[in-house]
Amino acid sequence: MKKTGKYDVVALGELNVDIILNRIDGFPEIGKEKFAGDMTVTLGSSTAIFAANVACLGSKTAFAGMIGDDSFGSLVEKSLAAKGVDTGYLIKSGKYATGATIVMSFGEDRANLTYQGAMDHMGFADLDRKLFEEAKHIHISSIFMQSELKRDLPEVFAAAEEAGVTLSMDTQWDPVEKWDFDFKSLLPHIDIFMPNETELGHIVGTSDLDAAVAAIVPYLKRAAVIKCGSRGSLLVGKDGSTHMLPSFLNRNVVDAIGAGDSFNAGFIHGFVKGLELPECQRLGNLSGAVNTTAAGGTGAFTSKEAFEKTASEVFGVSLSSRA
């Protein structure tokens, strides 16, 4: 890993806006119109939650992604900057609109509709190559929502490897459920692979976690960390060693929106600090747990002090001085 870099972390790709409609009168029906009782328009996307929270923990973070030259694009840019994420690498497309997800909440359940917009059209050729010199680490999430970036992964890997930049990836869910992810050729280029257990099962083609882990081990570059919801996470080393770490259980979950992204933020914050992988995993579990104490993906990450206060008051844990 590079010793230095202008940015500890560059988050690459996925950016959009969430239009959250709450207290809906009933399920949308073709040919009819209904009321929602409440609406919030906010920065969305799993990669943006990751970027905001890793910056909150103290990693110097930049975002390289494509937005439209429109009002949603300005919302994305301003919201990232307000979270302390450098926006200098954002690309403003004159051709494509900023994407959005309409989130319809029915009680505890949600129905989402996403227009990918600009993020689907950002390929390797759009990237300012300087970012590979300035980054120590690159994180990619939601690869199935970004067809051009997915197509160009070999170029991204080559540029990162040439510049000595480490790379992590959380695939997230595949909205078309084809799970077209050639793990045998891709995993050897990903230092830290971080899907959840369901996603890993779909990628490998088995619902048995042990079998899925055995299938990926020969292709790991360094490690995988598999997120298992309230059960915790499983760290898998390139040598086949495994370490299941139970979660810091929160019995009063506000919601688990973004818990996986916050896990990634905690883990990668430790990784770029040079902590040992089990310590990164512990920081991941703690960040996922802290995430569940407040609404949405960034509610519990208002400052590092607030994070440490929750960690100590709710979970009885203090951060090591190295984190």
Ligand X SMILES: Nc1ncnc2c1ncn2[C@@H]1O[C@H](COP(=O)(O)OP(=O)(O)O)[C@@H](O)[C@H]1O
The CA-CA-CA angle for residues 143, 104, 102, to 5°, reads: 50
How far CA 72 is from CA of 101, 149, 205, in Å, comes to 11, 21, 37
Taking the complex as a whole, the smallest distance from the CB of residue 20 to Mg ion amounts, in Å, to 18
With a CB cutoff of 8 Å and minimum separation 6, the contacts of 263 are: 194, 227, 233, 284, 285, 287, 288, 291
Told to check if 228 binds ligand X by CB under 6 A, we report yes
Q: How many residues bind ligand X (CB under 6 A)?
A: 20
Q: Is 104 helix (H, G, I), strand (E, B) or coil?
A: strand
Q: Single out the residue of 39, 111, 113, 253 in contact with ligand X (rule: CB under 6 A).
A: 253
Q: Single out the residue of 67, 153, 289, 300 in contact with ligand X (rule: CB under 6 A).
A: 289
Q: Closer CB to ligand X, residue 164 or residue 229?
A: 229
With a CB cutoff of 8 Å and minimum separation 6, the contacts of 46 are: 14, 141, 142, 170, 172, 258, 260, 261, 297
Q: Single out the residue of 5, 288, 296, 297 in contact with ligand X (rule: CB under 6 A).
A: 288
Told to check if 233 binds ligand X by CB under 6 A, we report yes
* β strands within 45-134, DSSP E: 61-64, 66-68, 91-93, 98-106, 109-117
Neighbours of 94 (CB within 10 A): 6
Q: Single out the residue of 64, 143, 187, 259 in contact with ligand X (rule: CB under 6 A).
A: 259
Q: Closer CB to Mg ion, residue 100 or residue 225?
A: 225
Told to check if 127 binds ligand X by CB under 6 A, we report no
Per DSSP bridges, beta strands 61-64 and 66-68 are unpaired
Told to check if 260 binds Mg ion by CB under 5 A, we report yes
Q: Which residue has the tokens 């709710």?
A: 314
Binding segment (CB under 6 A) for ligand X, from list 100-108, 204-212, 215-223, 285-293: 285-293
Told to check if 297 binds Mg ion by CB under 5 A, we report no
Told to check if 271 binds ligand X by CB under 6 A, we report no
Q: Single out the residue of 222, 230, 243, 294 in contact with ligand X (rule: CB under 6 A).
A: 230
**Cα(236)–Cα(214) distance, rounded to whole angstroms?**
10
Positions that interact with Mg ion (CB under 5 A): 260
Positions that interact with ligand X (CB under 6 A): 196, 227-230, 232-233, 247-250, 253, 256, 259-260, 263, 285, 288-289, 292
